Structures are given as C-alpha cells and as structure tokens.
Amino acid sequence: MAAPEQPATRVERVLDSAAELLVRWGYRRVTIEDVAKHAGIGKGTVYLHFRTKDALFLTVLLRSHHAVVARMAERMERDPAEALPGRSVRSLYRELVEDPVVRPLYLGDPEILGRLAHEAADTLGDIGTRRVEVGRRWFTLLRDAGLMRTDLTVDEQMHVFSAVTTGFFFLDGMATAPGPADPGRRADLLEHALASALEIPGAAPDVEIARDCAALHRSLLDHIDEEWQRRVR
C-alpha cells in the first residue's frame, strides 16, 4: 500500500498546478476547481490548505519571490561579481525572461495577474520596505569596500537603481518597445547602464564581500516565508 501523501507535498503540488494555470489562462479565468482538477485532487482538499482563491495565488507569487531572492544570494556566493548591482540585475533580468511565473510578478502583467496585481502589491508592501532597507545596506557595504561611486548619496544611488531597472522592466512589457529584441543584449545594456551610473570601473568584490552581500539578501527570506505561511493552513 502506498504511503499517504504528506500535506506539505500536496501543498507544493497545488501551488505547481496553480502557477501553471495562472500563466496559461490568467488569474480571472482560473478557478479553484480548475486547480484541483489539474492537481488530481478534490476542490475541498484545496480549501483545506487555502481559504480563498486570492490566498492560493498570492502564495504562488510569494513562493516565486522566495526562489528569486534565494537564487540571487546563491549566485553571489558562487561568483563574487554577482554582488555588484549591474551584474546582479543582469542575472535577475535573464531569470525574468525565462521564468513565466516570475515574469508577471515583477512586471505586474495585468493580462496574467488581473486584479491580483493590486493584491500582490499590498501583500508585498512590507516585504518591499524591508527590501529597500536591504538595498541600502547592500550599497553601503559596496561603497565602504571601494566598489561603488560615492559622488551620490546612498539614497540617490538607490533612486537611480530603481529608475533604471523599472524602466527596463516596463519597456520589456511593451509589445512595441524600442531597442534590441534579443534578451541577452537587453540584459547586457541593463548591466552597462547600472555599472556606468553606480560602480567603480574595474573594481571587483572579493569572496568575503560577496558572502556578506548574499547574507543580506538571504535575510529577506524569513519575511517572505512568514507571509507565505500566513496563507497556508
């Protein structure tokens, strides 16, 4: 006799199914019944773990956000150059292009997320506040190590960082956006823009600095998980 499925395994299967249907059909069209059928379980079983459709799909987005942050930290640990803003965001951009679930989360794609985009913005608000503080500490660490320019304040540099990345992500979501069609070349341009605006030419982080930067980003994971667990029964 096969062992009964563990609740945590079943939750992961439900989230996998919900993520796939979210990308395939969009939030407005997917129902809890659709998710249950795709996962091979009853609709009531989905409700055992998630009180509402919003709770289910917000958990999908939070799980994706957790994975993005974790992979960013892992890249910094493997390659110290990933601790620099330009290289870090270049890798993130490539991930957005290649991951159909992460992409709408970061681009706020209304075609896929629908009104869930507004719910996600509210849900991620506290995480966003913490992310800003992590960003401030990240930039300060790099500045103190002589890896970033100091002709602007940290807050001014963060404004530049946000403006450049938001602009690239916004243009990428437009069907008629100007610029190269090749995602790799767009990623190169994004890295070039941030490196030119923020970094010291030729400066390279050492392993210790990169590990400290990775640890800063990992500090976000507990807060993301807290939001995730609040929605799972």
What domains lie within the chain, and their CATH numbers?
A: 71-229 (1.10.357)
- Read off the pLDDT of residues 143-199 as tens digits, 9 standing for 90 and up: 999 999 999 999 999 999 999 988 877 666 544 556 667 888 989 999 999 999 999
pLDDT at 50 over 90: yes
The pLDDT confidence band at residue 124, using thresholds 50, 70 and 90, is low
pLDDT at 233 over 80: no
- Read off the pLDDT of residues 177-186 as tens digits, 9 standing for 90 and up: 566 678 889 8
- Read off the pLDDT of residues 59-110 as tens digits, 9 standing for 90 and up: 998 888 899 999 999 999 999 999 999 999 999 988 888 887 777 766 666 7
How far does Cα 18 stand from its chain's mean position?
Answer: 18
Amino acid present at 58 = L
Residue 26 CB-density burial (10 A; 0-12 exposed, 13-18 middle, 19+ buried): middle
Close Cβ partners of 93 (under 8 Å, ≥ 6 residues apart)? 168, 169, 172, 183, 186, 187, 190
Q: Are 53 and 32 in contact (CB under 8 A)?
A: yes
Torsion of Cα atoms, 140 then 145 then 151 then 157, to 10°: -40
How far does Cα 172 stand from its chain's mean position?
Answer: 16
